[in-house]
């Protein structure tokens, strides 16, 4: 077809999932991080969902290809199977006897295999793609398989990948026991406008004999408008546009060629047209909903409880305005409830990272606060750093934190999220109506229990403490990041050498944390804070002094 005309080794926009063409958007990177976290931590269930065409199958295959020899994988695709058939398919994928005619014998065989792999220090992974096709009986069977475990760990890690219908099924009352076992989940979102352009260039460059842009800026605009950032639709329209350009003997896809190809696809109808129409209808509903919401806010504001000084603000670091009221900070804390304020506080902290919090109310059944924050963070692919009686450290790490308060006469603590601070003012957010209040540092500290929980994002998934127990890949990734933030003399290899250690010490000293050259949680946070391109919410100006050194 048009391959030779454009200088391609092969068609760049084929619909067959090919890991060679994998393009990691921010959302895809998050999904990969979830999967890697699950493998490294032995979590029982992971859930990855996304709309049709968002690259779930390609992601799965890339993930599987990247696994080392210490992983045994059973990959089940499009599983329209009953419980017995699924167990046979799992055993067959693992290469063990699968001809038994009852579930007990199949599970017994599987259990022996899994125990053997565990003794060999190998991971056994079951990955089910298109898992929305599983019925409730089969999903319940999977839950029972998760009971295969030793005293310390699960024998089988289960990854469910599917369309949004899977999420709806798992949220149903009948499957609540399974939902409670899913420790990590992620929703794959479509590409942004910028990512769509990068995605197209990425595929063209891989397929090309030489690097060359085949699409104009106008063409990118129309392709994104048509596809909404869904990779499969991008592939369809790009393939059609290249064919159209070839027919007109044009070496580049222009805006008019892209529009012509889109008109042809729409006229042809079929699945792509239905998906596009569905997207426009959904957008229309969203717009109508937003207009209705704005109308409600403008014309009927509900009464709001306003303690102390209420700050009319939406995110950390923005300019704020104050409205004085007669309520005190103690009054405000007294009107909070422990578990509700805890749930709202962690949700607020996650929102400040510009991520959509994924939290289920069942988390509130967790009594121990540390465990609650750990589970809530892990479910959203975040880490938790617990801080005890170290206000200076909170200032130095400069991230939103959930603070624990003990109002007078209260038996259980209350929780609020710190979203901004100066020397003379602390701005907190929380409560049933998610209000924002301003208090003086001394007043805040008089009610603070000393406990705080800092949510932070491990963008590059460093495992362990470097260099104590971290794999060599983490050392290499750390050195890449250090070069990226300005330390160009760092050698890119797997060795944590003296120069790298001294570089880390300089960063630790700059931020006022313990200077030991060891990259633990606190040091990871301050190194990430050095990379300005990362989207990290801060509670104080980056120009402020980090303060005195504290032991990490």
DSSP 150-205: -SSSBS-EEEEEE-HHHHHHHTSGGGHHHHTTEEEEEEEPPP-HHHHHHHHHHHHH
DSSP structure class, residue 352: T
What is the average pLDDT across 250-261? 92
CB contact at 8 A, 405 and 413: yes
Domain holding 157: CATH number?
3.40.50.300
Distance CA 107, CA 105 (A): 5
Neighbours of 312 (CB within 10 A): 10
Two tokens at 436? 């924002």
Higher pLDDT: 502 or 324? It is 502
What's the gap between Cα 446 and its chain centre? 36
| Domain co-membership, 262 together with 163 | no
Alpha helices in 252-337 (DSSP H): 255-268, 270-299, 329-334
Which are the contacts of 128, defined by CB distance < 8 A and separation ≥ 6? Answer: 76, 79, 134, 142, 158, 159, 160, 161, 162
| Domain co-membership, 40 together with 176 | yes
What is the average pLDDT across 519-544? 88
CB contact at 8 A, 3 and 9: yes
Domain limits at 164? 26-188
| Domain co-membership, 158 together with 184 | yes
What's the gap between Cα 479 and its chain centre? 23
| Domain co-membership, 496 together with 373 | no
Q: Tell me how long the chain is.
A: 552
What is the average pLDDT across 312-323? 42
| Domain co-membership, 450 together with 484 | no
The pLDDT value recorded for residue 368 is 86
Two tokens at 463? 């495992």
CB contact at 8 A, 79 and 89: yes
| Domain co-membership, 200 together with 157 | no
The pLDDT value recorded for residue 550 is 42
- For the cut 60, the answer to whether the pLDDT of residue 238 exceeds it is yes
Can you give the three-state secondary structure of 360-397, one letter per residue? CHHHHHCCCHHHHHHHHHHHCCCEEEEEECCHHHHHHH
Higher pLDDT: 384 or 212? It is 384
| Domain co-membership, 328 together with 227 | no
Two tokens at 196? 């769509």
Instruction: Calculate what percentage of the chain has a pLDDT beyond 90.
Output: 40
| Domain co-membership, 485 together with 440 | no
Evaluate whether residue 433 is within a structural domain.
Answer: yes
| Domain co-membership, 42 together with 182 | yes
**pLDDT tier at 441, thresholds 50, 70, 90:** very high
Neighbours of 391 (CB within 10 A): 17
Instruction: Calculate what percentage of the chain has a pLDDT beyond 70.
Output: 86
CB contact at 8 A, 325 and 306: yes
What is the average pLDDT across 109-137? 90
pTM score: 0.50
Structural domain tally of the chain? 4
């Amino acid at each position: 077809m048009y391959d030779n005309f454009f200088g391609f080794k092969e068609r760049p926009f084929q619909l067959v999932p090919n890991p060679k063409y994998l393009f990691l958007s921010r959302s895809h990177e998050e999904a990969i991080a979830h999967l890697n976290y699950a493998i490294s931590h032995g979590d029982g269930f992971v859930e990855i969902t996304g709309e049709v065409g968002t690259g779930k199958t390609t992601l799965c295959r890339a993930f599987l290809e990247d696994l080392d020899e210490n992983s045994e994988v059973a990959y089940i695709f499009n599983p329209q199977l009953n419980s017995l058939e699924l167990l046979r398919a799992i055993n067959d994928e693992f290469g063990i006897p699968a001809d038994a005619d009852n579930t007990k014998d199949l599970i017994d065989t599987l259990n022996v295999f899994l125990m053997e792999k565990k003794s060999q220090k190998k991971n056994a992974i079951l990955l089910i793609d298109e898992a929305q096709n599983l019925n409730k009986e089969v999903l319940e069977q999977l839950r029972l398989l998760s009971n295969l475990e030793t005293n310390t760990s699960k024998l089988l890690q289960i990854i469910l990948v599917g369309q949004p219908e899977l999420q709806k099924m798992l949220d149903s009352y009948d499957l609540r026991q399974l939902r409670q076992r899913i420790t990590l989940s992620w929703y794959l979102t479509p590409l942004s406008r910028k990512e769509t352009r990068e995605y197209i260039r990425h595929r063209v460059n891989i397929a090309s004999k030489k690097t060359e842009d085949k699409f104009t800026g106008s063409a990118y605009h129309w392709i994104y408008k048509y596809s909404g950032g869904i990779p499969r639709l991008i592939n369809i329209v790009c393939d059609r546009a290249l064919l159209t350009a070839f027919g007109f003997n044009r070496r580049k896809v222009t805006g008019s060629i892209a529009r012509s190809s889109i008109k042809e696809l729409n006229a042809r109808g079929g699945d792509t047209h239905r998906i596009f129409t569905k997207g426009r209808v959904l957008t229309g509903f969203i717009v109508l909903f937003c207009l209705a919401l704005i109308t409600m806010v403008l014309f009927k504001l509900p009464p709001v409880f306003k303690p102390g000084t209420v700050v009319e603000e939406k995110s950390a670091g923005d300019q704020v305005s104050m409205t004085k009221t007669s309520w005190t900070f103690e009054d405000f804390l007294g009107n909070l409830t422990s578990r509700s304020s805890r749930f709202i506080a962690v949700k607020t902290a996650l929102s400040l990272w510009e991520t959509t919090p994924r939290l289920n109310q069942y988390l509130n059944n967790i009594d121990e606060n540390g465990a609650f924050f750990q589970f809530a963070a892990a479910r959203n692919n975040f880490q938790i750093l617990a801080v005890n009686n170290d206000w200076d450290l909170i200032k130095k790490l400069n991230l939103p934190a959930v603070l624990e308060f003990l109002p007078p006469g209260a038996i259980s603590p209350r929780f609020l999220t710190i979203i901004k601070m100066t020397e003379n003012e602390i701005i907190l957010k929380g409560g049933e109506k998610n209000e924002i209040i301003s208090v003086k540092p001394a007043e805040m500290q008089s009610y603070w229990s000393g406990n705080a929980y800092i949510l932070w994002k491990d963008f590059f998934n460093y495992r362990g403490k470097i260099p104590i127990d971290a794999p060599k890949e983490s050392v290499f990734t750390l050195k890449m990041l250090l070069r990226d933030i300005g330390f160009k003399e760092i050698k890119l290899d797997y060795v944590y050498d003296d120069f790298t250690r001294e570089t880390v010490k300089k960063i630790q000293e700059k931020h006022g944390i313990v200077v030991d050259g060891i990259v633990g949680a606190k040091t990871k946070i301050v190194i990430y804070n050095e990379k300005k391109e990362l989207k990290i919410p801060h509670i104080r100006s980056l120009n402020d002094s980090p303060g005195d050194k504290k032991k990490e």
